[in-house]
Amino acid sequence: MSSFFKDKTILVTGATGSIGSEIVKQLLKENPKTVRIFSRDEHKQFLMRQRIGDPDEIRYFLGDVRDQPRLVRAMEDVDYVFHCAAYKHVPLCEYNSFEAVKTNVIGTQNVIEAAYQQNVKRVLFVSTDKAASPSNVMGATKLLAERLMTSAMSSRGQHPIIFSSVRFGNVLGSRGSMVPTFCNQIQAGGPVTVTDPAMTRFIMSIPDAVSLTFTAMEQMKGGELFILKMPVVRLSDLIDVLIEEVAPVFDKDPASIEKRNIGIRPGEKMQELLMTAEEAQYATDSEKMFIVRSALDPFVGENPSTQLSSEAYNSATITPMRSEDIRVMIKQFLKNSPLSIAVQEVELKIDS
């Protein structure tokens, strides 16, 4: 079967980030015509260029989603857009709120307008679980960005373009996330800083998240929100397994690694929500994701037999992973996803 992306020109905003770079990596296996890497950080583009080189399919574009004319130029003759560029760190967005608005909200509208102008066929926005009933600035801006994608469908006029969003939780090993941070702390001999041991989080590997994102791009009809199903970990279980697995690699005794509770950071939740009860009323359940139809869709209620009951998809109501399963996940991550200095050194010692 021919790849959905074969001979297509695809733009990835935020392409040097954790999700964006994995999207680029997996796209290159699908025989595209061109993959355009769009990001504002020249150093990250330099590092990516060293890693993947200059294959015929790759084009490097420096630019910011805040700059609509640059987006218009970058989207010339583009078929599909993966919009990954965003400010994502909760505390930083709390203290720099309007900067988050300019990138996450205005930047998304710029992507929409540029896609209209260049007759792009599909635009998929990559969102976060923090957009579900948001308690922080970052989540609120991502929710508004989701709604911009939905409303773009109802205002597209005669443009044969479709917009949708995909939402998932924590991806294992993304830059600045908890696992690389904990690995660095373990390498230093501790302490490992714990916000709250009882906290639960949705979690998934980056390749798995991107694979499901590709499925969403293929299946989208316009205006949907694809919510990826994810396993749940309890923070205390994750940290215990990490200490047991990572400490010996750095010649540390796991028993010597202190755990220190530091309390919840500004804007954080104890539990994560991927789908609200209100969204569940418009959702259908497929094998690996929920598909939430837009309340603006006039056909949203035409097939009630496939709708869910109005139950939220909450990390508090899902049985957390067992320590044995977490251990398998962590070992696989340490071998395949060296996204921090600590993890890179772990991988080197494992391979040797």
Helix (H, G, I), strand (E, B) or coil at 140: helix
For residue 27, the surrounding DSSP H or E stretch is helix 18-27
To which residue do tokens 């930083």 refer? 92
* b/e burial code for range 136-154 (CB count within 10 A of at least 16 → b): bbbbbbbbbbbbbbbbbbe
Structure tokens at 41: 């950080």
Distance CA 34, CA 43 (A): 22
Structure tokens at 143: 């929710």
Cα–Cα nearest to 238, from 172, 335, 336, 176: 172
Residues 224-247, buried b or exposed e (16+ Cβ, 10 A)?
bbbbbbbbbbbbbbbbbbbbebbb
Contact 165, 146 (CB under 8 A): yes
What does the alpha-carbon distance between residue 127 and residue 165 come to, in Å, rounded to a whole number? 7
Angle, in degrees to the nearest 10, between helices 206-219 and 18-27: 70
How many CB atoms within 10 Å of residue 217? Answer: 21
CA 92 and chain centroid, separation: 18
CB 67 within 8 A of CB 106: no
Q: Looking at the annotation, which residues are catalytic?
A: 130
